Amino acid sequence: MSATLTQPSARMRWASRTQFFASGFIFATWGVHIPTVKAHYGVTEAELGLAMLAAGVGALLGLTQASRWIGRHGARGAAGLSGAIYALLLAGLLAMPSYLTLLGLLAAFGVVTSVFDVSINTEAAQLELRNGQPLMSGMHGMFSLGGMAGAVTGSAVLAAGMAPSSHLLLVAAALACAIALSAQWMLPKEVTAFAAGAEGFRLPRGTLVILGVLAALGLIAEGAIYDWSVLYLKQELGSPQQQAALAYASFSAAMAATRFTGDAMRARFTPAILLRGSACLAAASMTLVLLTDAPWLALIGFAGVGVGFANVVPILFAASARVPGVEPARGIAAVSAAAYLGFMAGPPVIGFLAELSSLTSALYLVVVFAVALAASARSAGSA
């Protein structure tokens, strides 16, 4: 089938939405069980931060090969395999014999996470280009919806008394099947392989550097919420874990709702205006979270942070797929690499700072990076 003639069907769009939803659900399930993992292995915040660093290093390794693998197998093949492995690795989070083997599992988790991420974003970029209208924010909305569903489900099963290991096993099996099956209806291999090209990873240059720095600022802050919000509510505000899991749920629900309107917002506002307003809202909302002692008010604040960061990644990833002279998969991989540097560095740094002071003090970094993103938003308009 010709790469230039393939038009996306409704089934193809829903296959892509399913992949994004599954990715968010898996990530949320990991987030819900971070306190479980911490208690199970008896580690400190600094050691937990090192575990997150292992996942980030693995993600960077995967990004160096993602465009090559997509070029060889297409987004369909790369997403189907890496996504299924990504889901199945959840089952091992509480089954490792030691903390050191957990680091190895999380490094592998990071590799397949990044390959899956680039694959489904390459698919979404191609669908958007061929559909002739914005789709990327809606796809990322499905990621956030999956995150909300994963967090709410995790909270419910913990409240019901289900063993964490059983929960992880059920989620792993269900989502591995969903990812593998939905991949069969993605764009034909030739389309996304053509878009990716045959060459390997290259460091971002020119416009991609600007987009990458902005994405890094956004993902440093967003990743901190994913990895530390549940523990923050449980440890700093004294909430039970089933209630603390709602921190992730409120963040993801607000992010999902905003992303589903994000394509219309992208059509109405310039990238610079949208990024600046969004980042200012994120900074104000995170400040509220850190200043209040009331869990319900912190949940409202986390929702505001979700609204603020909702459109940062869709805007920048969509832009990276349309840089002249750069294949979509390579542009996404390059910007993703810069973003993952932030995603890799942010949570561990917060863990180390929390060890030195407190988690509350460390999470003020989210406010700092949101302000930096707002101050740099004008650069998105020239990118």
- Output the pLDDT for position 383: 53
Digit-coded pLDDT (tens) for 209-236: 888 888 888 887 777 887 788 889 988 9
Name the residue with higher pLDDT: 311 or 116. 116
- pLDDT band, residue 192 (cuts 50/70/90): low
Q: How far apart are CA 34 and CA 47, in angstroms?
A: 12
Q: What is the pTM of this model?
A: 0.74
End-to-end CA gap in the chain: 33
Rounded to whole angstroms, the Cα distance separating 342 from 363 reads 15
Contact status, residue 134 vs residue 263, Cβ threshold 8 Å: yes
* Cβ neighbours of residue 339 closer than 8 Å, sequence gap 6 or more: 212, 215, 216, 218, 219, 313, 316
For the cut 80, the answer to whether the pLDDT of residue 37 exceeds it is yes
Higher pLDDT, 198 or 258: 258
Give CA torsion, residues 146, 147, 148, 150, to 10 deg.
80
Q: 164 with 33: CB under 8 angstroms? A: yes
Higher-confidence position of 200 and 61: 61
Per-residue DSSP letters for 311-352?
A: THHHHHHHHHTT-TTS-HHHHHHHHHHHHHHHHHHHHHHHHH
Contact 28, 151 (CB under 8 A): yes
Mean pLDDT of the chain: 84
Torsion sign (Cα): 175, 141, 79, 51: negative
Cα of 50 vs its chain's centroid, Å:
19
| pLDDT over 90 percentage in the chain | 34
* Mean pLDDT on 142-169: 90
**pLDDT confidence of 84, banded at 50, 70, 90?**
very high
